[in-house]
A = this chain, B = another copy of it.
Amino acid sequence: MFEQLYKSIHAHVTLTPEEWEFCKTKFIPKRLRRRQYLLQQGDVCRKLAFIEKGALVAYTIDDKGTQKVIQFGFEGWWIADLYSFLTNEPSALNIEALEDSELLLIDKVEHEELMEQVHAIGNYHRILFQNAFIALQRRVGNTIGTTAGEKYNTLVEEFPASFFNRIPQHLIASYLGVTPETLSRVRNQRASQRD
């Protein structure tokens, strides 16, 4: 149940066995079935979720009713609406399971206590945010002033196939900021170029 979390933490910092045992007590396991919501637009995001297994997607629905994918999440990643979590304001995001998934949840009080008691966890989160920040900056750079084809190529390069192949195309299209039709045509051209 805690393998992925253990791996994730220890990839960045070191905990004593006691610290790790303490850590585990702070999380609540939760299962989600495919299509089930972890968070719905309008609700306050009260827990951070670590994904032990499965795949999720975070998205908004804009005024015109168009879905915009903000983030994907797979085993070993964290997912939440951080803004809502920190401010207690209603979330603008939906977070939904793409597959049956297993999560570990932690609420704000427990999380703060954990960081206080186990100093390394604060560092762990700082490093994760650093990395997430860097990844997001790359994404922005890849979104600005590029054609649909370039965006797609970069995504294919940067995303491991083991994750990539589990995402429906229309969500990839939304993530890239193009329509499903455009993505379909782009893929077609790529395929014919590689003959």
A interface, CB within 8 angstroms of B: 60, 62, 66, 68, 70-71, 82-83, 86, 119, 122-123, 125-126, 129-130, 132-134, 136-137, 139-141, 143-145, 174-177
Contact = CB atoms under 8 A, between A and B. Distances in A.
A129 B123 CA distance: 12
Given A122-B123, A126-B125, A129-B129, A68 B136 contact: no
Nearest to A83: B134
Contacts of A137: 70-71, 82-83, 136
Q: How many copies does the complex hold?
A: 2
Which 9 residue pairs spanning A and B have beta carbons closest together?
Answer: A129-B129, A144-B177, A126-B126, A136-B136, A83-B134, A145-B177, A68-B144, A133-B133, A132-B133
Main secondary structure of the interface of A (DSSP, over half): helix
Contacts of A174: 144-145
A144 B145 contact: no
22 contacts: A71-B137, A82-B130, A82-B133, A82-B137, A83-B134, A86-B130, A86-B134, A119-B119, A122-B122, A122-B123, A122-B126, A129-B130, A129-B132, A132-B133, A133-B133, A136-B137, A140-B140, A143-B143, A144-B175, A144-B176, A144-B177, A145-B177
Contacts of A119: 119
B83 A145 contact: no
Contact of A62 (B66, B83, B129, B145): B145
Contact of A70 (B125, B141, B175): B141
A82 B137 CA distance: 10
Given A129-B130, A145-B177, 14 more contacts: A62-B145, A68-B141, A70-B140, A70-B141, A86-B134, A122-B122, A122-B123, A129-B132, A133-B136, A139-B140, A140-B140, A143-B143, A144-B175, A144-B177
